[in-house]
Structure 1
Amino acid sequence: MIIDPHQVTVETGSSYPEIFESAVAGRIKQRLGNAAGLKNFGVNLTRLAPGSRSALRHWHSHQDEFIYVLQGAITLVTGEGEQVLRAGMAAGFPAGTEDGHHLINRSDTDVAYLEVGDRTAQDRVSYPDNDLVAVQTELGWKFSHRDGAPYL
């Protein structure tokens, strides 16, 4: 199926609890994989305005992630430190690797990248810098504190 990104819905914000929403202000996603009807993995065209983040720093228990930078320079932050990725560079994050990651646009221009992730069931996402855990359910992501108490 051919996808015209100009025809794919633009999404802002996230499904994070409200207290964490500001962390991803300035992030715009287009779910190209969903538009193509893909079932086993997702592909998002994501744009970050200057100062924006891709997500809270996180890692997945069961799902692999991959990013490919299309435009601009973006800072990859992991537990090991920071590295600038430029257009044409890529990074992968294997499932179960307990090294949280996220991207920050520290430049003065928009950044665009593709993010690819599988849709393995029963995934759990850990956020090492925040009191937050996400568990994948049939109804979507369910967020809680590390002690299991739900966010209200």
Structure 2
Amino acid sequence: MPDLKMPVAAVADDIPPRRKPSIYPEPFASRMSGREKRQLGDFFGLKNFGVNLTRLAPLAVSALRHAHTRQDEFIYVLQGRPTLHTDEGRTLLSPGMCAGFRAGTGNGHRLVNETSDEVIYLEVGDRSPGDEASYPDDDLQAVLVNGQWTFSHKDGSPLA
């Protein structure tokens, strides 16, 4: 039987932003300044995939450049002109453009707002158990354990 307390529709901007701006540990979390995520999928109780409405202030970034072992990701630009940074280099995106990142390729990716205007985009990712994330530009790795990300240095040692 469906949960009758879950909403069936909402205005995305009325869904409160995520309380904690980043799940990264410091010193990485502070690098996410200027990013705001509204967890649309969580608001509706979705369990198999997540959907976020994300805003990047000027000079903000979407994430550390990363690649997933099991999670596919997809972004769709609604407003602004973010720069997609991947192993292939930098690609300027505009409203209506989209990009997908297949799991297991090792191709690190992120969006960078190098403009003076706000960027707004949708991001969609699955919630595959056992996922891991690598960060080619940082001494960081992550493992998804029981639905929570745990972080360590690339050599497996704990973060201080």
Same structural fold, with TM-score higher than 0.5 when normalized by the shorter chain: yes
**Pairwise CA RMSD:** 1.0
| Deviates most, 49-58 or 10-19 | 10-19
Tell me what 1:103 maps to. 111
Q: Secondary structure at the match of 2:27?
A: helix
Task: List per-residue Cα deviations over 1:5-42 (Å, max 9, x = no partner).
Answer: 23312125211111112221100000001111111000
Structure 1 residues 67 and 139 mapped into 2: Cα distance closer, same or farther (>3 Å)?
closer
Tell me what 1:19 maps to. 27
- What residue ranges of structure 1 are gaps of 5+ in the alignment? none
CA distance in 1, matches of 2:146, 2:69: 17
**Could you tell me the TM-score, scaled by structure 2's length?**
0.92
CA distance in 1, matches of 2:97, 2:13: 24
Q: Secondary structure at the match of 1:2?
A: coil
Tell me what 1:131 maps to. 139
From the CA coordinates, give the structure whose radius of gyration is larger. 2
Tell me what 1:140 maps to. 148
Q: CA deviation at 1:139?
A: 5.4
Tell me what 1:6 maps to. 13
| Deviates most, 16-25 or 121-130 | 16-25
Is 2:82 the partner of 1:82?
A: no
Tell me what 1:38 maps to. 46
Q: Secondary structure at the match of 2:107?
A: coil
CA distance in 1, matches of 2:158, 2:111: 26
2:65 aligned residue (57, 60, 85): 57
Which structure is higher in strand share?
1
Q: Secondary structure at the match of 1:19?
A: coil
Q: Percent identity?
A: 55
- What residue ranges of structure 2 are gaps of 5+ in the alignment? 1-7
Task: List per-residue Cα deviations over 1:70-115 (Å, max 9, x = no partner).
Answer: 0010000011100001000000000001110000000101000000
Moved over 2 A (4+): none
- Are the counterparts in 2 of residues 78 and 102 from structure 1 also a CA contact under 8 Å? yes
